[in-house]
Amino acid sequence: MIKPDDFTKSGTPLGIAIGIGVTVLASAVIPILPALAKAARPTFRAAIKSGILLAEKGRELMAETNEQLEDIFAEAKDELLRESGIDQADATEYSEASTQRKDV
């Protein structure tokens, strides 16, 4: 035989109360969702625009960094050639010969 004590100890009243609360809350929130979506749209659009601008700035920064590194590399290579006493014509021939692919 089921006693009223068993009913309250099993947590059933708490489950019923939570279910009723969720139903009431959902009936109040669901009509508001379309308005929230419309209000959030400009915010999401602004966030996407900021992301695009950030990506563009990152690309520019990487391009500038790459250009500076290429300049530094060319300057260092030129200094090495001058220090070793190799004239520019010989260095060009050596560079072309070392970059040619040899089939094995």
The three-class DSSP label of residue 103 is coil
Torsion of CA 81, 86, 87, 91, to 10 degrees: -70
Q: Give residue-wise pLDDT tens across range 66-93.
A: 999 999 999 999 999 888 876 555 656 6
Q: Give residue-wise pLDDT tens across range 3-61.
A: 666 666 677 777 888 888 888 888 888 888 888 888 889 999 999 999 999 999 999 99
The CA angle 87-67-99, to the nearest 5 degrees, is 45
